[in-house]
């Protein structure tokens, strides 16, 4: 009896409606296309043999890991045309998914291409890539009849809900993401998300957009600490509350609260728009529901019924035909295969994490098979867990053939050492700003990596000035907490700037 009740409880809470699945599919399809468009702007720099990370520098040799090179179609050619063609194909698959055109096949194609793209340059994989990896896989594994519902019609009392292996995995994934991230914040050794934080985590993050600076002024020092603690508890509790909710009001309130949280992140933390869209996508399957409880089945008919007088010329139906149950719906082979794939990937991912498996890393130093396995199975997120009490930025002053000094990093004719407050250059937005410039490389790979900055300037400089050499600095400044003496009312304040020379490079080393 207890097991039957538990199964019924789980099936009801982890069932999704056709309308919410349609919204999830459309949202994820458009997000895939937008992500491909964003990546196309840096395809030449990061995904070609003429860029900073050629294939021979970041991937093991084909004879050492043939399976990786078979799965990574982006490594089949090092040309820009090949990369843009694959990005266009992936974006097209995303648009087909959004429009409901062969959605399972479109999602599967988008997932395979995304996996290939992450294998090509594992050192640039971040949480957005993990989101897309998991969500595209699970949307491809949703039952065909759910994905076939393309209309966002008004919900009704008779809206169809269905529990499947993919919907269960979507619920568990949501739970893992937010409980892991929330508890990580609550257990942060620095206490940045606590009410008594020496430097509040939100005081670190809310500094770089107009909305962030407005929120910072409105909240003040105490408000930033309380808001940070509330954010950590909200991340920890919203997903469990949404999934165990017995009524639609509590569930929808939790979902809307999570969506509002990510909208706030997109407005206040620079370059998090695509990440916020991906995080919202994970909540959309749960926007409706849970379904109303099923009424109890009618009592079985009496075996002995009073016979009614037969009409002339009509045959009396037999007792067996009267008690025959309605035909049961059978799962299609594709849905059964999808359920098996979800179970296999979920079990393997849990085992990978239990054994301490690592995240995808630079393939040039990975044993055969490790990069592919880590890309498929790593599922540890912990986003924004700890906020450092300082800011970090980069400056690359370079001398040109004309004798002028420019900043290669910001593609600027002037060099500024202060904390940057303006918008970042187009090629340094978001995750593309996080060059792995502290990674260990051999001499040839190092020359290709740093020489790409010289090439980038020379390709885009209208005056056709060449670069003689440059110094690459990592700079750091401590955050002056809000309310501290010296903190300006209009702009966030910082301490003394510290410089660290990472690399001195002569562009002649490119050859």
pLDDT-derived band at 151, boundaries 50, 70, 90: low
d(CA 419, CA 391): 8
Span 444-458, mean pLDDT? 92
The pLDDT score that the predictor gives to residue 343 is 92
Task: State mean pLDDT over 75-97.
Answer: 96
pLDDT given for residue 127 in this prediction: 87
Q: 3-state SS of the chain: helix, strand, coil percent to 5?
A: 55, 10, 35
Report pLDDT for 85.
Answer: 97
Q: Reply yes or no on whether the pLDDT at 313 is more than 90.
A: no
Beta bridge partner(s), residue 17:
161
Cβ burial of 458 (10 Å; 0-12, 13-18, 19+) is: middle
pLDDT at 280 over 80: yes
pLDDT at 232: 93
Q: Which residues pair with 469 in a beta bridge?
A: 399, 506
Instruction: Specify the pLDDT at position 304.
Output: 45
Q: Which of 87-96, 136-145, 152-161, 284-293 has the lowest mean pLDDT?
A: 152-161
Q: Using CA atoms, how far apart are residues 9 and 236, in angstroms rounded to an integer?
A: 22
* Across 190-202, average pLDDT: 88
CB neighbours of residue 314 within 10 Å: 7
Confidence of residue 155 (pLDDT cuts 50, 70, 90): very low
The answer to whether residue 485 scores a pLDDT higher than 70 is: no
Q: What string of DSSP letters covers 150-207?
A: ---PPP-TT--EE--HHHHHHHHHHHHHHHHHHHHHHT-TT-TTSTT-SS-HHHHHTT
| Lowest-pLDDT choice from 3-12, 355-364, 466-475 | 355-364
Confidence label for 353 from pLDDT (cuts 50, 70 and 90): confident
The answer, yes or no, to whether residue 467 has pLDDT greater than 80, is yes
The yes-or-no verdict on residue 125 having pLDDT over 90 is no
More confident: 69 or 359? 69
Percentage of the residues of the chain whose pLDDT score is greater than 90: 47
| CA gap 150, 135 in Å, rounded | 18
The stretch 92-101 carries a mean pLDDT of: 95
For residue 221, pLDDT over 80 is answered with yes
Q: With bands split at pLDDT 50, 70 and 90, how would you rate the model's confidence at 436?
A: confident
What is the arithmetic mean of pLDDT over 422-440?
72
**pLDDT at res. 303:** 44
pLDDT at position 335? 79
Higher pLDDT, 405 or 419: 405
Most confidently modeled range among 101-110, 303-312, 367-376: 101-110
Provide the mean pLDDT of the chain. Answer: 85
Q: Does pLDDT of 426 surpass 70?
A: no
Average pLDDT over residues 10-27: 90
* Confidence band, pLDDT 50/70/90 cuts, at residue 296: low
Least Cα distance to 378 among 47, 141, 31, 118 occurs for: 118
What does DSSP say about strands 405-407 and 397-400: parallel, antiparallel, or unpaired? antiparallel
CA–centroid distance for 352 within its chain: 19
Average pLDDT over residues 217-244: 92
């Amino acid at each position: 009896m207890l097991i039957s009740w538990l199964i019924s409880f789980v099936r009801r809470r982890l069932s999704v409606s056709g309308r919410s699945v349609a919204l999830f599919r459309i949202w994820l399809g458009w997000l895939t296309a937008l992500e491909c468009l964003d990546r196309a702007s840096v395809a030449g720099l990061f995904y070609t043999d003429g860029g900073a990370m050629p294939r021979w520098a970041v991937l093991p040799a084909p004879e050492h890991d043939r399976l990786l090179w078979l799965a990574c179609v982006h490594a089949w050619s090092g040309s820009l045309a090949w990369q843009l063609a694959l990005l266009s194909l992936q974006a097209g698959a995303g648009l087909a998914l959004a429009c409901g055109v062969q959605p399972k096949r479109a999602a599967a194609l988008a997932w395979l291409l995304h996996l290939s793209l992450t294998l090509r340059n594992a050192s640039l994989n971040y949480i957005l890539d993990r989101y897309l990896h998991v969500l595209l896989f699970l949307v491809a594994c949703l039952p065909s009849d759910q994905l076939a519902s393309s209309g966002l019609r008004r919900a009704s009392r008779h809206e169809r809900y269905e529990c499947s292996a993919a919907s269960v995995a979507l619920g568990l994934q949501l739970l893992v993401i937010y409980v892991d991230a929330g508890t990580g914040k609550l257990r942060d050794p620095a206490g940045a998300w606590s009410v008594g934080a020496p430097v509040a985590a939100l005081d670190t993050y809310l500094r770089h957009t107009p909305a962030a600076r407005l929120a910072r002024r409105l909240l003040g020092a105490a408000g930033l600490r309380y808001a940070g603690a509330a954010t950590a508890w909200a991340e920890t509790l919203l997903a469990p509350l949404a999934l165990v909710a017995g009524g639609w009001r509590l569930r929808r309130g939790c979902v809307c609260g999570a969506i509002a949280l990510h909208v706030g992140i997109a407005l206040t933390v620079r370059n998090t728009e695509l990440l916020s869209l991906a995080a919202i996508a994970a909540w959309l399957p749960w926007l409706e529901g849970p379904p109303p409880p099923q009424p109890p089945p009618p009592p079985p008919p009496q075996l002995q019924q009073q016979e009614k007088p037969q009409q002339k010329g009509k045959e009396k139906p037999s007792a067996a035909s009267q008690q025959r149950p309605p035909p049961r719906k059978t799962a299609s082979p594709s849905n059964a295969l999808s359920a098996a794939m979800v179970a296999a990937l979920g079990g393997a991912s849990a085992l990978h994490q239990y054994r301490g498996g690592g995240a995808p890393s630079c393939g040039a130093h990975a044993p055969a098979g490790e990069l592919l396995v880590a890309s498929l199975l790593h599922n540890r997120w912990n986003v924004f867990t700890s906020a450092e009490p300082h800011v970090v930025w980069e400056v690359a002053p370079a001398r040109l053939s004309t004798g002028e000094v420019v900043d290669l990093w910001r593609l600027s004719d002037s060099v500024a050492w202060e904390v940057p407050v303006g918008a970042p250059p187009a090629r340094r937005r978001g995750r593309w700003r996080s060059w792995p410039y502290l990674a260990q490389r051999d001499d040839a790979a190092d020359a290709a990596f740093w020489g790409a900055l010289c090439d980038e300037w020379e390709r885009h400089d209208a005056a056709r000035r060449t670069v003689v050499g440059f110094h690459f600095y990592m700079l750091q400044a401590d955050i002056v907490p809000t309310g501290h003496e010296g903190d300006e009312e209009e702009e966030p304040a910082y301490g003394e700037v510290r410089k660290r020379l990472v690399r001195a490079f002569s562009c002649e080393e490119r050859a």
